Amino acid sequence: MPLDTDRLAPAVLHGMANAIRALSMDAVEAANSGHPGMPMGMADVATVLWSEYLKHDPAAPDWADRDRFVLSAGHGSMLIYSLLHLSGYARPTLEDVRNFRQLGSPCAGHPENFLLDGVECTTGPLGQGLAMAVGMAIAERHLNAGFGDDLVDHRTWVIAGDGCLMEGINHEAIGLAGHLKLGRLNVLWDDNRITIDGSTDLSTSEDIEGRYAATGWHTVRCDGHDAVDIRRALDEALADPRPSLVACRTVIGKGAPNKQGTSATHGSPLGKDEVAAARATLGWDHPAFEIPKDIRDNWRASAARGVLLRSEWEHRLATHSEKAEFERRMRGDLPESFDLASLAQEFAAAPQKVATRKASEMVLDRINPALPETIGGSADLTGSNNTKAGGIGPLTAENYGGRYIYYGIREFGMSAAMNGMALHGGVIPYGGTFLVFTDYCRPAIRLSALQETRVIYVMTHDSIGLGEDGPTHQPIEHVQSLRMIPNLLVMRPADLVETTECWEIALREKTRPTVLALTRQNLPQVRHEASENLSAKGAYRLKAAAAARKVIMIATGSEVSLAMDCAAQLEANGIGADVVSMVCTQLFDEQDADYRADILPDVQPEEILRVSIEAGTTFGWDRYTMTNGLRFGIDRFGASAPADQLFQKFGLTADTIVPQIISKLNG
């Protein structure tokens, strides 16, 4: 809670808030695009929050114990750019702000975590910022349980709009936060009763505070343009042990005399005349992008509290017995001693027939005791995803030190929370559901990839091989469609050894998320040698042709052993066949040209026929088979039946595939 000496006079705060309004309307005007309404409406709330409550030091944006600030209403990006600039962060500079929304400026249309320090997460897809903040708040409490108040003792603040509260994910996110009693999470709702289409009356009549209260939240209301009232509400929020929703009644576009309070200010420049009128209304007679010295000084001075708090924290860290471990965790480095290669070798030496979901559990049995930073979980499919392993216990409101989260049936909420945890740092989240429900997670998976977070998605039941649950549960297009997302590794291991290799790759990828697509059904072990992590090459030759090579079989996951069976039959017919396990297309595409050409030589199909097998869509496989190759897969929805009958029905057996290859070879 701020000291009385931190309290600034309302007139001072008013000038500081008007600097946000001026920068926001002028930057949007210069770009001729953007959203002035939200920053102008929330300027007063944001000024009180940043100058009196938020714990931050502009000189140390990555200070581990800073408060996290999330602008969930990402369209109001000029709000955070103004706040960062005015309070003295190195970037954005005034030039950066002038170039709002232009190529090369870190002031992108929506805030991007990889472009500016102080932007904790990428926001714009409404609702996800708040849901990520839940993950940040979980990570904070979890690390606090491990390292104590001296090192970890901060809050998570969110500014969210009507849209963030209306999105379905809001329900999942606040349900989880309320259940876990994340009292250090405070959401400041820009309650302006306006969205793009007009008044919120058009589309909602919900009792939002009632909904939050029912979910275990504390709620409080304030006049979002009255500093004293804002403080009262924030003080109440801080004092309450529950997560808090602070409903800030505001006027969108506040200060623009003819347009304020209407959706006209939401997402368009105010226009020259209205900007001039706003200047007159606000008493702001400075030219565009000029901030008077006294206001700039007030903003800079407001950061002094954070500077002091950081230096005190640095002193505590310097003498802390856990300093090295804490710093390692926050850097995201794995312990020097961590290594799964020996485990892969153990598995290679003693073959087992297991489902890859089970294989994943066996690997996690080794990972979790060795890596205290992992936080596992599942969206109510723990026993199916095999995610609880290695002796980790539940993370609950009573024990934040636990390492396993029962997310409930909240796939999207889980995925967004994992992004928040990874962005917070100090933890490596992994979580599971059925692969088919990556559709429910997908907007967050996309943000994992965009934000470069190390999140590991453990997605089981990865094909018709799941059997009787039928077409609603059988992924068809999922693996291939996930492969289209840039900066996402999609891995479909074929056995226990490959599963071990994939986990090792995923854990070592600091800036890329991974989807592990794992089987429900048991698979024979295809790898008997593990001196090198071959999965790291994305694809490798599992078996070389014995007879003169005429065919290259390319398969993934459960179809690799099928490809081996096909190859054996081909060889019996005197046709040499390589088998390539394509564990991860993205990693294969990154190999050098020589390696790729060695695995998939660039020759005509008359010389070598390329054949793909994957129990999902064949769409896109011509990338590896070439158009003249053969592609075996499933281009319709599945069916409900035992798995082996389904593989028969969809023609994914050696007896069906081999004759087609031979006939193609015979032209």
Q: What is the binding site for ligand TPP (CB under 6 A)? A: 37-38, 73, 75-76, 124-126, 161-164, 190, 192, 194-196, 252, 266
Measured CA to CA, the distance from residue 128 to residue 73 in angstroms comes to: 9
Does residue 360 belong to the site contacting Mg ion (CB under 5 A)?
no
Give 195 or 480: the residue with its C-beta nearer to ligand TPP: 195
Closest contact distance (angstroms) between CB of 126 and ligand TPP is: 4
The H or E element containing residue 549 is: strand 549-555
Measured CA to CA, the distance from residue 250 to residue 390 in angstroms comes to: 50
Measured CA to CA, the distance from residue 33 to residue 77 in angstroms comes to: 12
Closest contact distance (angstroms) between CB of 67 and ligand TPP is: 23
Closest contact distance (angstroms) between CB of 259 and Mg ion is: 14
In the chain, the amino acid numbered 295 is I
Measured CA to CA, the distance from residue 149 to residue 546 in angstroms comes to: 64
The site string for Mg ion over 50-79 (x = CB under 5 A, - otherwise) reads ------------------------------
Closest CB to ligand TPP: residue number: 161
Instruction: Read off the tokens for 358.
Output: 């089970």
Give 266 or 478: the residue with its C-beta nearer to ligand TPP: 266
Measured CA to CA, the distance from residue 180 to residue 174 in angstroms comes to: 10
* Binds 101: which of ligand TPP, Mg ion, none (CB < 5-8 Å by kind): none
Q: Select from 104-112, 134-142, 156-164, 441-449 the region that touches Mg ion (CB under 5 A).
A: 156-164
Closest contact distance (angstroms) between CB of 230 and Mg ion is: 18
DSSP codes of every residue in 78-89 = HHHHHHHHHHT-
Give 37 or 178: the residue with its C-beta nearer to ligand TPP: 37
Distance set, CA 71 to CA 10, 32, 41, 111 (Å): 24, 22, 14, 8
Cα angle 565, 506, 521 (rounded to 5 degrees) comes to: 35
Does residue 194 belong to the site contacting Mg ion (CB under 5 A)?
yes
535 touches 497 (CB < 8 A): no
Closest contact distance (angstroms) between CB of 263 and ligand TPP is: 6
Give 161 or 557: the residue with its C-beta nearer to ligand TPP: 161
Catalytic option among 140, 167, 172, 411: 411
The SS3 of residue 47 is helix
Give 245 or 518: the residue with its C-beta nearer to Mg ion: 245
The alpha carbons of the chain give a radius of gyration, in whole angstroms, of 28
Is residue 346 part of the annotated active site? The answer reads no
Does residue 162 belong to the site contacting Mg ion (CB under 5 A)?
yes
> Could you say which residues in the range 269-298 bind Mg ion, by CB under 5 A?
none
Give 194 or 491: the residue with its C-beta nearer to Mg ion: 194
Give 51 or 72: the residue with its C-beta nearer to Mg ion: 72
Distance set, CA 411 to CA 32, 231, 631 (Å): 38, 36, 32
* Binds 266: which of Mg ion, ligand TPP, none (CB < 5-8 Å by kind): ligand TPP
Measured CA to CA, the distance from residue 578 to residue 558 in angstroms comes to: 17
Closest contact distance (angstroms) between CB of 269 and ligand TPP is: 15
* Binds 196: which of ligand TPP, Mg ion, none (CB < 5-8 Å by kind): ligand TPP
Measured CA to CA, the distance from residue 578 to residue 545 in angstroms comes to: 5
Measured CA to CA, the distance from residue 91 to residue 639 in angstroms comes to: 55
| CA atoms within 13 A of residue 420's CA, in its CB half-sphere | 34
Closest contact distance (angstroms) between CB of 201 and ligand TPP is: 13
* Binds 58: which of Mg ion, ligand TPP, none (CB < 5-8 Å by kind): none
Under rule CB under 5 A, how many of the chain's residues touch Mg ion?
Answer: 4
Does residue 192 belong to the site contacting Mg ion (CB under 5 A)?
yes
Measured CA to CA, the distance from residue 647 to residue 294 in angstroms comes to: 74
> How many other C-beta atoms lie within 10 A of the C-beta of residue 130?
30
Give 233 or 252: the residue with its C-beta nearer to ligand TPP: 252
620: Cα separation from own chain's centroid: 26
Q: Select from 155-163, 472-480, 491-499, 532-540 the region that touches Mg ion (CB under 5 A).
A: 155-163
Measured CA to CA, the distance from residue 73 to residue 125 in angstroms comes to: 8
* Binds 73: which of Mg ion, ligand TPP, none (CB < 5-8 Å by kind): ligand TPP
* Chain length of the chain: 667
Q: Give the active site residues.
A: 411
Contacting positions for Mg ion (CB under 5 A): 161-162, 192, 194
